[in-house]
Structure 1
Amino acid sequence: MAENDDVVPKYLQISGHIRALIERGELAPGAEVPSERELAARWKVARPTAAKALNTLRQQGIVRSRRGSGTYVAERPALLRESAPRYGTPAPESRSVTVLCAAVVEGPREVTDALVLPVSSSVIVRKTLWVGISGSVELTTCWYPGGFAGTAALLLESEVVPGGVARYLEAATGRAATVVRESAGARLATEDECRHLTLRHPAAVLVVRRTCSDAHGVPLEYRETVHPPGGWTMSHEYSASSAADFRR
């Protein structure tokens, strides 16, 4: 049993186990996933808990349900990214990085929810400013569970983590990010964001939120990256057969 099984919700343990089977190839695309009834019996949980585990995988696009048939591993990739997430990769030489903040604070509700922590838990916050030689700029704020302060002390240093945060966290905690969830939206920049991004207030910005979780579904990092107007675009390539809007 994993060391953190006592604190990880059961439905996340179940979904993480199924996801690991898929990633190892033990459940191939198109293969049937155990039913709610089978999962409830195998894991000794109530049916709603098993249903929540399967729904988590559906929301991640990892499995698909067929009415009256069952749940199956999704045929992948139905949706391809233009490029892989930049989680933890070293900064290119063409960009400078300034760590504006590195501290342990009381986590805002949005952050503790994303990291699956109790309300008002302590978290590590790191805020960095990235500036490219072309003038491109972005402001990134990352949050980590407060417990990492004892095992990953470099997160509290006002310096760039050598080799990138992802590699460092894996080496320091023995846990690697295997699942990345992203969402993007626009809002008005805060005064602090306008100051760092040299924008006139009010200004609209693009905000990309990302949660990185380990193989058990336990979040390792929650980050919010703020891009100024015209500084970033999101592109996707997908199969027309998998896009409902395309078939209308």
Structure 2
Amino acid sequence: MPQIEEAQPKYLQIAHHIRDQILRGDLKPGDEVPSERQLAADWTVSRPTAARSLEVLSHQGLVEKRQGSGTYVRGLAVNRRARELYGRAKQTGKIYTPGEYAVITSAGWLEAPDYVAEALSVAPGSRAVHRRRVTKDASGPIAISTSWFSDEVGGRAPKLLDPERIEEGTLMYVENMTRRQGSYAEDRMCARLATEDEVSDLELDAGSAVLIVHHVVYDVRDRPLEFAEATYPPGRWAFEQGYPIG
């Protein structure tokens, strides 16, 4: 008989909390993370439990311990996916970290491709609002993403048609305008060769592989609210939650 899973071990909860801060950009490369003593006090756990949480982050390559100094965030190239972007927007009101910015390359009404119509649960051939953006930082382009919304959402959120940036993030804006709250999301990932447009926008060599993520946000009534397709260049890591296998 299947069993309901218990809460994750405390050391993993602490590690995931700090990991999320790193992936959101709240903790940046070179920043010091809380010490074992501080974590033990903040989370009301033992020092060995706090130390184990830092070991998890170290094994994931997110932090490094400097003898006699402390534990610091490593300068690891990381793909900040929708989960981290949305978490940052909720926490700070801004979706991008300092130094990051997005260029909206197209916005407006289009006939939804079949896979987009299916994800949004609308009829094939329906019109939908799209917003395509290239995200960049000091190193150059780091992601391409296109968000899609149904006709009903597009009619209630007019800024989606404007090629100007939406500072609080597209999803938070849509939630505010439609009064539909995002409840959960599902991601599907695959790798493939970059298209000509992706090679150009991400400044890649022809024949490069890219990571593709299809991301669907559902509201509290289990209705699709947003479908997003993101393309990430090679050489950058994406992280998921750790999980027990015993």
TM tier relative to shorter chain: 0.5 to 0.7
C-alpha distance in 2, partners of 1:214/1:224? 18
The one of 80, 84, 87 equivalent to 1:86 is 84
Alignment of 1:117-196 (within 5 A): 117-135=122-140, 137-196=142-201
C-alpha distance in 2, partners of 1:104/1:76? 44
Q: Is 1:109 equivalent to 2:114 in the alignment?
A: yes
Percent identical: 28
Q: Is 1:230 equivalent to 2:235 in the alignment?
A: yes
1:138 Cα offset (Å): 0.6
- Cα deviation, 1:30-69, whole Å, max 9, x if unaligned, reads xxxxxxxxxxxxxxxxxxxxxxxxxxxxxxxxxxxx47xx
Counterpart of 2:219?
A: 214
Query: Could you tell me whether the CA contact under 8 Å between 2:85 and 2:96 is conserved in 1?
Result: no
Unaligned runs of 5+ in 1: 1-65, 242-248
C-alpha distance in 1, partners of 2:141/2:200? 15
Q: Which amino acid aligns with 1:158?
A: P
C-alpha distance in 2, partners of 1:77/1:139? 34
1:181 Cα offset (Å): 0.4
Which TM-score applies when normalising by structure 1? 0.63
C-alpha distance in 2, partners of 1:111/1:199? 26
C-alpha distance in 1, partners of 2:242/2:182? 24
Q: Partner of 1:103: helix, strand, or coil?
A: strand
Which TM-score applies when normalising by structure 2? 0.64
Q: Give the 4+ runs in structure 1 shifted more than 4 A.
A: 72-82
1:202 Cα offset (Å): 1.7
Q: Which amino acid aligns with 1:178?
A: S
Distance 1:192 1:239, change over 3 A: same
What is the aligned residue count? 172
C-alpha distance in 1, partners of 2:165/2:7? 35
Alignment of 1:14-93 (within 5 A): 66=1, 75=6, 82-83=19-20, 85-88=83-86, 89=89, 90-93=95-98
Q: Which amino acid aligns with 2:242?
A: E
Q: Which amino acid aligns with 2:211?
A: L
Counterpart of 1:51?
A: none
C-alpha distance in 2, partners of 1:162/1:190? 29
Distance 1:76 1:156, change over 3 A: farther
CA RMSD of aligned residues (A): 2.3
Q: Partner of 1:168: helix, strand, or coil?
A: helix
Q: Is 1:97 equivalent to 2:102 in the alignment?
A: yes
C-alpha distance in 2, partners of 1:134/1:113? 36
Q: Which amino acid aligns with 1:205?
A: V
Unaligned runs of 5+ in 2: 25-82, 90-94
1:77 Cα offset (Å): 5.4
C-alpha distance in 1, partners of 2:101/2:173? 20
Distance 1:215 1:129, change over 3 A: same
Q: Partner of 2:118: helix, strand, or coil?
A: helix
Query: Could you tell me whether the CA contact under 8 Å between 2:107 and 2:161 is conserved in 1?
Result: yes
Higher mean Cα deviation, 160-169 or 216-225?
160-169
